[in-house]
Structure 1
Amino acid sequence: MIDVAVRLALRAYPPSFRERYGGELEALVEDTGARPSVVADLLFGALRAWLRPVMPDESVERRRRRMQASVATTWVSWCAALYTLPVLHFVLSEEPRPTPDLVRRLLDVAQYAMYGAGLILLLGVLALLAESSRTGNWSAWRPLVALIPTLPTWVIAPLLLAFASIDPLSYWVAAVAVFGPMAFLITAAVTPAVVITRFRPSAKVLRLLALSGVAVAFAVTTTGIACVAAMNTADAAQTVTMPILAVTVAASAAALVSSGRGAKAALHREQLQDAV
């Protein structure tokens, strides 16, 4: 069982990291042994490798990986902000006081901006699909298979919640109804970012994705601004709004910083080499 966990932990590292350090890491595990603490260290290292990707010394490849990391970070940030919007609307609807007009307008602007950013992301997905059709590189899309086992819980969650409300003793049903969709949302945020890293798009598509990420980052920022404005309104639900505020502010900062670096790399004059 530990050996399986070690293999999965090693596979959790970014492809670029495994390509450069995979052999050394496997040799180190063989020397130290496959203990639970080693598995935990590997998983923590994998998370750190995704958050802080290893950049090679070559400027062209370094810019390519910078843009890939920027696109992946922007996608995760957009998902985080998108998921917090309905929660914020629900919290404000439960407040005894009416929501101020300014906050409502900001929430509307944030919602439309996020939907517009979703259309931009959809165009990027279509560009990747077109390139996959041209090159036959479909193996990079395999991480999306992880969505299949969690998708049914998203679909049947309302029915499970309705059943749990009728039978208060069905705690496990309520748990599946809550944590199942949560697992799907987390998977939907993470797996496309893994696809981008594995795919290695052509220079043309990669520039398009990196530059469009700037617009997506500003859409995420509108959600953060709306959340800050709504903070003073939801006095009765501070325990809920504080995590929402933390998530949206962190997502906004990450999207702005990462998309700015990606756009800078995309606009660099030095010619990028296609990987396909």
Structure 2
Amino acid sequence: MSWAARMVLRAYPPSFRARYGSELAALTEELPDSARTTADLVRGALGAWIRPRFAGPQARRLRLQASVSTTWLAWCAGFLIVPAVNKALLDPPGSGTSALVRGLLHAGSALLFIGWLLALMGAAHIVVRALGPGLRSRPKFFLGPLVPVMVSGILLVLGLLALLAISHTAPSNPAGPWALIGWSCVLIGFLMCLGVGPGVSLRRLEVPAPTLRLPARLATGLALALAAMCACCLIAVAVAGDAALDSSSFPVVIVLVIASLASVVALVSSARGIRAARHT
């Protein structure tokens, strides 16, 4: 088996790997190491993520778990759309930054606050009902996936403090582009760890379906908040109609595309989760 095929096999959803991972790996070993085999595995991985199928007595629990994890991952991928567009359109404000644009951006900021509130409520529910009892038995097993989140978060804060210190002590000689690029890479790494780590911990906890019912409903609100944020920001950009986005040093267009795709993923996944929650 080629290294590319091994990497693709690891990219399959955890629930899929737990059920079919060994069989798929054995089948891949029998196939020739070709680009076609790797392409077939990539298509299978995408299909497993886009339309996951759960069977057996744990199907509803796995469906709720996948919906909560996927919506959280989508939120981490897309919530930066609000600060990015605010930075591009309001710092400094362009000629097309009207009262309507400001109102849309204020609405997006309010939705950002509501979304984080919903996320924290769901996380608190899981911590109280599932994580607390689990920590008494195997703390390292459940908290291990959160270590990269804490490490990258500390590096992110230290880097931000260093950038602020440089700009404060030498206003005429701010941090160079490589320092900003390095901090941006740390930010991306932190968001990736923040999106993936809690989902891995949730899978290891094996939270019962009744406990996941409330987080699944909150995930629906989180998905709606993300979609509304994207709508507000996209409309604000369309109404502004100036060169603020083109001249911005921050890749705002990339953030817009990623957030829009993430909102679609969150809406689809949360809709499937809420259907499972009704029958739990």
> In the TM superposition, what are the counterparts of 1:119-198 in structure 2 within 5 Å?
119-130=117-128, 131-135=130-134, 136=137, 138=139, 139-158=141-160, 159-160=162-163, 162=166, 166=173, 172-198=178-204
- The answer (yes or no) to whether the contact 2:96–2:242 under 8 Å persists in 1 is no
- The answer (yes or no) to whether the contact 1:71–1:196 under 8 Å persists in 2 is no
- Shifted more, 229-238 versus 7-16: the winner is 7-16
Q: Deviations over 1:248-273 (max 9, x none)?
A: 332332222222221111012xxx4x
Once residues 107 and 140 of structure 1 are traced to their aligned partners in structure 2, the CA distance between those partners, rounded to angstroms, is: 38
Q: Which residue of 1 aligns with 2:227?
A: 221
Gaps of 5+ in 1: none
Residue number among 224, 247, 251 corresponding to 2:258 in the alignment: 247
Q: Which residue of 2 aligns with 1:236?
A: 243
- The answer (yes or no) to whether the contact 1:157–1:177 under 8 Å persists in 2 is yes
Q: Deviations over 1:110-138 (max 9, x none)?
A: 22222222122212222222212224464
Q: Which residue of 1 aligns with 2:94?
A: 96
Shift of 1:88: 0.6
Q: In the alignment, residue 206 of structure 1 is paired with which amino acid?
A: L
Q: Secondary structure at the match of 1:201?
A: coil
Matched, 1:87 2:89: no
Q: Which residue of 1 aligns with 2:72?
A: 75
Q: Give the TM-score normalised by the residue count of structure 1.
A: 0.78
Gaps of 5+ in 2: none
- The answer (yes or no) to whether the contact 1:16–1:54 under 8 Å persists in 2 is no
Shift of 1:91: 0.3
Q: Deviations over 1:139-190 (max 9, x none)?
A: 244222222442343113332584898488x665443222111211222122
Shift of 1:37: 9.5
Once residues 41 and 167 of structure 1 are traced to their aligned partners in structure 2, the CA distance between those partners, rounded to angstroms, is: 49
Q: Secondary structure at the match of 1:235?
A: coil
- Shifted more, 98-107 versus 257-266: the winner is 98-107
Matched, 1:260 2:256: no
Shift of 1:242: 3.7
Shift of 1:7: 6.8
- The answer (yes or no) to whether the contact 1:157–1:181 under 8 Å persists in 2 is no
Q: Secondary structure at the match of 2:207?
A: coil
- Shifted more, 35-44 versus 150-159: the winner is 35-44
- The answer (yes or no) to whether the contact 1:81–1:223 under 8 Å persists in 2 is no
Aligned length: 264
Once residues 40 and 152 of structure 2 are traced to their aligned partners in structure 1, the CA distance between those partners, rounded to angstroms, is: 27
Shift of 1:218: 1.9
Once residues 225 and 42 of structure 1 are traced to their aligned partners in structure 2, the CA distance between those partners, rounded to angstroms, is: 34
Q: In the alignment, residue 153 of structure 1 is paired with which amino acid?
A: L
- The answer (yes or no) to whether the contact 1:234–1:241 under 8 Å persists in 2 is no
- The answer (yes or no) to whether the contact 2:89–2:245 under 8 Å persists in 1 is no
Cα 1:79/1:234, change in 2 over 3 Å: farther
Q: In the alignment, residue 100 of structure 1 is paired with which amino acid?
A: S
The structure with higher relative contact order (CA 8 Å, sep 6+) is: 2
- Shifted more, 176-185 versus 155-164: the winner is 155-164
- The answer (yes or no) to whether the contact 1:91–1:237 under 8 Å persists in 2 is yes
Cα 1:188/1:37, change in 2 over 3 Å: farther
Residue number among 35, 59, 62 corresponding to 2:59 in the alignment: 62
Q: Which residue of 2 aligns with 1:21?
A: 20
Q: Deviations over 1:219-267 (max 9, x none)?
A: 1122112112212315204555543432333233222222222111101
- The answer (yes or no) to whether the contact 1:14–1:197 under 8 Å persists in 2 is no
Once residues 157 and 199 of structure 2 are traced to their aligned partners in structure 1, the CA distance between those partners, rounded to angstroms, is: 23
Q: Give the TM-score normalised by the residue count of structure 2.
A: 0.77
Give the aligned CA root-mean-square deviation in angstroms.
Answer: 3.5
